[in-house]
Structure 1
Amino acid sequence: MGDMASEETRPLLSTEVETELPAQRPSPLEIYLSKVQNQNLFLATFAAVLGPLSFGFVLGYSSPAIPSLKKVSNPELRLEDIQASWFGSVVTLGAAAGGILGGYVVDKFGRKLTLMLCAIPFVFGFTIIISAQNVWMLYVGRLLNGLASGVTSLVVPVYISEIAHSKVRGMLGSCVQLMVVTGILGAYIAGTGLDWCWLAVLCSIPPCFMLVLVAFMPETPRFLLSRNQRPEAIAALQFLRGPLVDHEWECREIEVNTEGQEELSLAEFKNPAIYKPFFIGIAMMFFQQVSGINAIMFYAETIFEEAKFKESGAASIIVGSIQVFFTAVAALIIDRKGRKVLLVVSGFIMAISAAIFAIYCKMALPVPINSSHANPPSSILSAAVVEEEHRLAWLAVLSLGLFVMGFALGWGPIPWLLMSEIFPLRARGVASGACVLTNWLMAFLITKEFHDLMVFLTPHGTFWLFCAMCFSNVLFTILFVPETRGKSLEEIEAYFQRSH
């Protein structure tokens, strides 16, 4: 007893207090997460992100397919310039419709079934393209691909956020954008050796695998509990977390937020817990598109050609590789550095690179552009750089690389991740659908109206506008976007409840 007393009364050194106290009082969540086994969670995530991979193949398909389709012998199938423009952009209209449809389906039929249903228009779309006899069949195929892409871009982030725990949710959520850019890069690379038809065959393979794998994965525990299917929710947690944890504890934590929740009504949008995350989600999708990413990507081929990268396919692969690498970097560090920090850094990098491109346009285009100039931006830029004898090509390439890097680090993956984190369970389908619709409509408008903007504001004025939008991104992030790193979905929902 004397020894025990002396041990109890002996004062601890300050260093011992600092190192021992945190270990003496682990939170229930820390105890729970220390016993989690992630193998099946990673498997379920892999099955789900085959959807974004398919989505990436759809986005990347048009770039190598259009030159091939312009050379086909069948005049009914051969694409002219205007038809090629619609072939590339009609996907965004289909995806906008997919956002509306997905918001309803994901809440009505569940996350898992919606994931499986996504595979059908992917495969049918590519099948119609493969068997196409005229241009209209190509349009229908692309429209179906877009529809599937819109639903996929909604349901996959929601599914992953609801099956993942807080320790890895950021990393796994970032894999959505990583797989999209991987699919784009895969289509670019495959397009260097395959014609449009065989490339479509290749692009139809990932959604087939997704359909099979997702069939063996569980529904999300949160959706099951919202439908009062507690035994099925426990079984899903047992699959996702392994046998060593207290599944009942996590189930009870989720139930606190799901019990008594009714279907979302319009009147509830007066509630700050609904309208605040809704405003943040919509605004982030808006800012993602008006930052100028589609404009920069539009210029990519011309920039590399004028920088003496004469192979446009190689230029696309370089851009795609930059996207994949830095999106992977973001996925690895997002749960350690946090969402806000990456968004701010990303916005600053994009703003600086847009400013560099504006300076490049001003120096390369000393004569202002007005409405009498009917040439497309790429022709104007090409002529200007020829006049400058390629002296400024390095500046254009630098700005392009910086912009793509910055976008991939933050404003590419994080808006989709936050969309899946900040909405209350009962509003997740509708609010996510509105975000997807906003994103794709803005993508369509920016893509189709870019040339008019270049004529109206001049090229350098347009990119100064994009620079201003990127700084607005940063300001918006600092003022309004909450940090969700390390928080459960229930804690995030409680934050918005308290914030009013």
Structure 2
Amino acid sequence: MSGWKQYLAGVAAAFGAFCLGASIGWSGPVEKEVRGGGAYKFTPSSAEWGWISSLLTLGAAASCIPAGVLIGIFGRKITMLGLAPPFFIGWLLIIFAQKAFMLMIGRFIVGFCGGAFCITAPMYNTEIAELSKRGIMGCFFQLLIVHGVLYGFIVGAYAKVKMMNILCGILPIIFFVLFIWMPESPVYLAQKGKNDKAEKSLKFLRGKDADVSAESNQMASEGNKEKVKPMQALCRKNTLKSLGISMMLMVFQQVTGINAIIFYSTGIFTDAGTGFSPAISTIIIGVVMVIATIVSIMLIDRVGRKILLLVSAALMFVTTLIMAVYFQWLLKKNVGWLPVLAVCVFISGFSFGFGPVPWLLMAELFAEDAKPVAGAIAGTTNWMCAFIVTLAFPLIKDGFGAAACFWIFAAVSFAAIIFVMFLVPETKGKTLNEIQGMIAGGKKD
């Protein structure tokens, strides 16, 4: 297989997303033992546990803009390697926590470091990938996240909290050891005028016998263009249009209800009489996410980004509608199989499109000089929405009932269909310069 080293570098970079996924998957499996006082010398209150669970998303939201600035100054590789030590320190605080505030600080730090990978990994992967492989490699981030979540679910199902903490805490070290051998992004090197190093990076990625002269010359010519300040690049009409599209995709990713569905999934599996324990139910959900994400990656450079988003939004709309009807009118009927089916189809639909594609498009829609800051704003939007939904969902559920939540999710999913159909451009098979021309011309496919 030609150019296999770019896949190796892409997986190594996206292993930071695996670390984030394991951190996301930590809360559910450990909650019972931590809140029951069996994991630490203290027992967090309900309010404290709420903050312990949600501070990861707030930490991730706080990291995106700093990460966007740092990758423009120090490069993609140095920034990602620099995230590993504080990521490990965050897990040390969780492992050796003596008070609830230590858990909170640890969760904020791992969220901060994990959230930074949302910006750095998709950007690095789309920059090192050949055009024909860019879609696949741009989705490595989401693929490794869902594998990390599944890892957290499996380890949490069979290990005590302390062992789970250790098995999650070693992951940033593994990332550092893997990624330190990978090259810097040739796009970044060309932007800094280091054309010889950019060509050397391309030779590593494409294979020593590959002819990289055309690709190297194109990067060099892009790097020689007149430099503009990040805020000037951000204020261009093209950038603002791309930023609006990317931010709305991030909003739809979070506000269509993925976290609520996962929250309800174990209870739905239990109520349906499946006989599955909560631990097995979460593992099933994790497996469904992984399989659907793999299918998406296999299709993304064949059918395109837009089709995957449309199918994904349609499946989420139908299933959240079913969930709303179930909680509104069918809760006491003998149809427990219906929400189980809806949960599995929803998670498949989400993982098929709205899970991976917004992160890929975030790395594709912006010109190189605007990408770090614009991508950081889009990433911050994603995590702020995740934080708000995490806080608002239980309040709406308690105040108006679960049905109200799912009616809202159905409405948002329908809005996502309309948005994707009329406003999201198809980027499959197009160079980054061609994408900029398409956005400027207002064409969508």
Q: TM class by shorter-chain length?
A: over 0.9
Whether contact under 8 Å (1:274, 1:423) holds in the other structure is: yes
**Aligned: 1:281 with 2:246:** yes
Question: 2:225 corresponds to which letter in structure 1?
Answer: G
- Over 3 Å counting, the alpha-carbon distance change for 1:133 and 1:461 in structure 2 is closer
Gaps of 5+ in 1: 1-35, 365-384
Q: Which of 15, 20, 33 is 1:55 aligned to? A: 20
Give the structure 2 partner of residue 19 of structure 1.
Answer: none
Note the C-alpha offset of 1:458: 3.9
Work out whether 1:254 is the aligned partner of 2:197.
no
In the alignment, the residues of structure 1 paired with residue 174 and residue 230 of structure 2 have an alpha-carbon distance, to the nearest angstrom, of 37
The TM-score normalised by the length of structure 1 is: 0.85
1: CA distance between counterparts of 2:226 and 2:93? 43
Give the drift of 1:269: 4.4
Q: Deviations over 1:75-129 (max 9, x none)?
A: 7522232222211111011111111221111111110011101212221111111
Distance 1:110 1:392 in 2: 54
Q: Aligned partners of 2:31, 2:38: CA distance in 1, in Å?
A: 14
Question: What is the alpha-carbon distance in structure 2 between the residues aligned to residue 246 and residue 225 of structure 1?
Answer: 17
Please name the residue that 1:476 is paired with: 419
Task: Tell me the CA shift for residue 270 of structure 1.
Answer: 4.5
Identical residues among aligned pairs (%): 34
How do 1:46-445 and structure 2 match up within 5 A? Answer: 46-72=11-37, 76-308=41-273, 309=275, 311-364=277-330, 385=331, 388=332, 391-445=334-388
Letter in structure 1 aligned against 2:119: L
Equivalent pairs, count: 442
Q: Distance in 1 between matches of 2:335 and 2:87?
A: 42
Alpha-carbon distance in 2 for matches of 1:183, 1:72: 26
Gaps in structure 2 of 5+ consecutive residues: none
Higher mean alpha-carbon deviation, 451-460 vs 333-342, is at 451-460
For residues 257 and 91 of structure 1, the distance between their equivalents in structure 2, rounded to whole angstroms, comes to 37
**Which digits, 9 at most, give the CA deviation of each residue in 1:420-440, with x for residues without a partner?**
111111111111111111001
1:307-327 Cα distance to aligned partner (Å, 9 max, x none) = 124511111111111101101
2: CA distance, partners of 1:304 / 1:121? 37
Please give the alpha-carbon distance, in whole angstroms, between the structure 2 residues aligned to 1:269 and 1:157: 19
Q: Which letter maps to 1:240?
A: L
1 CA distance for matches of 2:16 and 2:257? 25
Distance 2:156 2:39 in 1: 20
How far is the alpha carbon of 1:265 from its aligned partner?
Answer: 4.4
Larger radius of gyration: 1
Give the secondary structure class of the aligned counterpart of 1:168.
Answer: helix
SS in 1 for 2:71: helix
Q: How far apart, CA to CA, are the structure 2 residues paired with 1:237 and 1:212? A: 21
Which letter does structure 2 place at the counterpart of 1:311? S
Q: Note closer, same or farther for the CA distance 1:270–1:499 as it changes in structure 2 (3 Å cut).
A: farther
Task: Report the RMSD for the aligned CA atoms in angstroms.
Answer: 1.8
Q: Say which of 421, 428, 433 aligns to 1:490.
A: 433
Structure 2: how far apart are the matches of 1:485 and 1:259? 27
Q: Distance in 1 between matches of 2:39 and 2:334?
A: 43
Is 1:465–2:408 an aligned residue pair?
yes
The one-letter code matched in structure 1 to 2:70 is: V
Deviations 1:43-95 (A, max 9, x none): 11121111011010000011112222123358752223222221111101111
Deviations 1:12-51 (A, max 9, x none): xxxxxxxxxxxxxxxxxxxxxxxx9212111111211110
Q: Equivalent residue of 1:425, what SS? A: coil
